[in-house]
Amino acid sequence: MEEIKSKLLEIFEKAKDRMPEVKTWSKVYQFVVEGDGEFYIEIKDGKMDVKEGRHASPIATLSATREVFEKILNGDLDAMKAFMTRQLKITGNVLDTMNLKKLIDAGLGKT
Protein backbone atom coordinates (compact mmCIF):
# COMPACT_ATOMS: atom_id res chain seq x y z
CA MET A 1 0.00 0.00 0.00
CA GLU A 2 2.96 2.33 0.58
CA GLU A 3 3.69 2.15 -3.15
CA ILE A 4 0.20 3.42 -3.96
CA LYS A 5 0.52 6.31 -1.51
CA SER A 6 3.93 7.39 -2.79
CA LYS A 7 2.76 7.13 -6.40
CA LEU A 8 -0.22 9.41 -5.60
CA LEU A 9 2.14 12.00 -4.09
CA GLU A 10 4.43 11.77 -7.11
CA ILE A 11 1.49 12.20 -9.50
CA PHE A 12 0.21 15.19 -7.52
CA GLU A 13 3.59 16.93 -7.68
CA LYS A 14 3.77 16.46 -11.44
CA ALA A 15 0.15 17.51 -11.97
CA LYS A 16 0.35 20.78 -9.99
CA ASP A 17 2.04 22.65 -12.84
CA ARG A 18 -0.33 21.26 -15.47
CA MET A 19 -3.45 21.93 -13.38
CA PRO A 20 -3.15 25.29 -11.60
CA GLU A 21 -6.77 24.94 -10.37
CA VAL A 22 -5.62 22.24 -7.97
CA LYS A 23 -4.20 25.02 -5.78
CA THR A 24 -7.79 26.11 -5.00
CA TRP A 25 -9.10 22.65 -4.13
CA SER A 26 -10.25 21.57 -0.71
CA LYS A 27 -11.08 17.90 -1.24
CA VAL A 28 -10.75 14.59 0.56
CA TYR A 29 -10.86 11.23 -1.23
CA GLN A 30 -11.02 7.97 0.71
CA PHE A 31 -9.24 4.89 -0.65
CA VAL A 32 -10.12 1.35 0.38
CA VAL A 33 -7.52 -1.14 -0.83
CA GLU A 34 -9.27 -4.49 -0.59
CA GLY A 35 -7.40 -6.74 1.82
CA ASP A 36 -4.74 -4.09 2.55
CA GLY A 37 -6.48 -1.31 4.49
CA GLU A 38 -7.64 2.26 4.12
CA PHE A 39 -6.14 5.70 3.69
CA TYR A 40 -7.27 9.06 2.41
CA ILE A 41 -5.78 11.95 0.53
CA GLU A 42 -6.51 15.52 1.51
CA ILE A 43 -5.87 18.16 -1.13
CA LYS A 44 -5.86 21.67 0.31
CA ASP A 45 -3.94 24.91 -0.23
CA GLY A 46 -2.00 23.42 -3.15
CA LYS A 47 -0.71 20.47 -1.12
CA MET A 48 -1.68 16.85 -0.77
CA ASP A 49 -1.43 14.87 2.44
CA VAL A 50 -1.85 11.11 2.61
CA LYS A 51 -3.17 9.84 5.92
CA GLU A 52 -3.92 6.40 7.32
CA GLY A 53 -7.42 5.35 8.28
CA ARG A 54 -10.87 6.60 7.49
CA HIS A 55 -11.88 10.25 7.04
CA ALA A 56 -15.18 11.35 8.62
CA SER A 57 -16.58 13.00 5.47
CA PRO A 58 -14.73 12.34 2.22
CA ILE A 59 -16.13 13.62 -1.10
CA ALA A 60 -15.99 10.07 -2.42
CA THR A 61 -14.70 6.63 -1.50
CA LEU A 62 -12.80 4.60 -4.07
CA SER A 63 -12.50 0.84 -3.50
CA ALA A 64 -10.44 -1.62 -5.52
CA THR A 65 -7.70 -4.20 -5.23
CA ARG A 66 -4.10 -3.07 -4.88
CA GLU A 67 -3.47 -4.36 -8.41
CA VAL A 68 -6.23 -2.19 -9.92
CA PHE A 69 -5.02 0.96 -8.11
CA GLU A 70 -1.45 0.26 -9.23
CA LYS A 71 -2.55 -0.17 -12.86
CA ILE A 72 -4.50 3.11 -12.75
CA LEU A 73 -1.60 5.02 -11.16
CA ASN A 74 0.90 3.57 -13.63
CA GLY A 75 -1.28 4.54 -16.60
CA ASP A 76 -1.95 0.92 -17.58
CA LEU A 77 -5.70 1.10 -16.84
CA ASP A 78 -8.01 4.06 -17.35
CA ALA A 79 -9.92 4.88 -14.15
CA MET A 80 -13.17 5.38 -16.06
CA LYS A 81 -12.81 2.00 -17.72
CA ALA A 82 -12.05 0.42 -14.33
CA PHE A 83 -15.23 2.00 -12.93
CA MET A 84 -17.37 0.95 -15.90
CA THR A 85 -16.11 -2.64 -15.66
CA ARG A 86 -16.69 -2.64 -11.89
CA GLN A 87 -13.02 -3.14 -11.04
CA LEU A 88 -13.19 0.22 -9.24
CA LYS A 89 -16.12 1.01 -6.97
CA ILE A 90 -16.97 4.60 -6.12
CA THR A 91 -19.45 5.80 -3.51
CA GLY A 92 -20.28 9.38 -2.63
CA ASN A 93 -19.86 12.13 -5.22
CA VAL A 94 -19.00 10.05 -8.27
CA LEU A 95 -18.94 13.12 -10.53
CA ASP A 96 -16.28 14.84 -8.42
CA THR A 97 -13.97 11.87 -8.87
CA MET A 98 -13.59 13.08 -12.47
CA ASN A 99 -11.42 15.84 -10.95
CA LEU A 100 -9.24 13.16 -9.39
CA LYS A 101 -9.03 11.37 -12.74
CA LYS A 102 -7.96 14.64 -14.41
CA LEU A 103 -5.30 15.06 -11.74
CA ILE A 104 -3.98 11.53 -12.28
CA ASP A 105 -4.02 11.97 -16.06
CA ALA A 106 -2.14 15.27 -15.74
CA GLY A 107 0.42 13.69 -13.42
CA LEU A 108 0.94 10.89 -15.91
CA GLY A 109 1.35 13.38 -18.75
CA LYS A 110 -1.87 12.36 -20.49
CA THR A 111 -3.32 15.86 -20.82
Distance in angstroms between the alpha carbons of the first and the last residue of the chain: 26
- Per the structure, the count of domains in the chain is 1
Q: What is the pTM of this model?
A: 0.94
Q: Please tell me the distance from the alpha carbon of residue 29 to that of residue 39, in angstroms, as a whole number.
A: 9
Closest CA to 25 of 38, 12, 14: 12
**CATH number of 76's domain:** 3.30.1050.10
Structural domain of 65: 2-107
Tens-digit pLDDT profile for residues 53-100 = 999 999 999 999 999 999 999 999 999 999 999 999 999 999 999 999
Nearest-Å Rg of the Cα atoms of the chain is 13
> Is the pLDDT reported for residue 110 higher than 90?
no
What is the four-CA torsion angle of 36, 50, 14, 20, rounded to 10 degrees? 130
CB 31 within 8 A of CB 40: yes
